[in-house]
Amino acid sequence: MVSLLENRMYFTWTNYSVPETKAFGPMTNAQMKEQLRNQIRPVNCVIIIGGMWTAYSDWIQFEMEFAESIGKPILGVRPRGAQLMPAAVTAKADKVVNWNSDSIVAGIREIS
């Protein structure tokens, strides 16, 4: 996802996700929720990659619910080659797009 957006011409963005090199250390659930809230607050759009594991991730559910509660639009991205999207993502997403830079950027621009 990062490389798709970084290589897209005429599109500037800021990555607010946690880099692998700075992953969160051990923390309580309350601390983790606050870290996730701090990541979501400044964004124009929350992007959720809709792999089937998403449906079983409490943290992704939390991110979508928090984004919705503060009025941040959610863009669901269907993984390359996937036919199905988790119902949890389609229910919360303002728009669902395919895995390619043109669709993703157009989706971001439309809902942000």
pLDDT in tens, 31-44: 999 999 999 999 99
Mean pLDDT calculated for residue range 55-62: 83
24 found inside a domain: no
17: left (phi over 0), alpha (psi -120 to 50) or beta: beta
CA 111 distance to own-chain centroid: 13
pLDDT of residue 25: 79
CATH no. for residue 56? Answer: 3.40.50.9200
Residue 106: which domain range?
Answer: 2-14+44-111
The pTM for the full model equals 0.90
How confident is residue 82, by pLDDT bands cut at 50, 70 and 90? confident
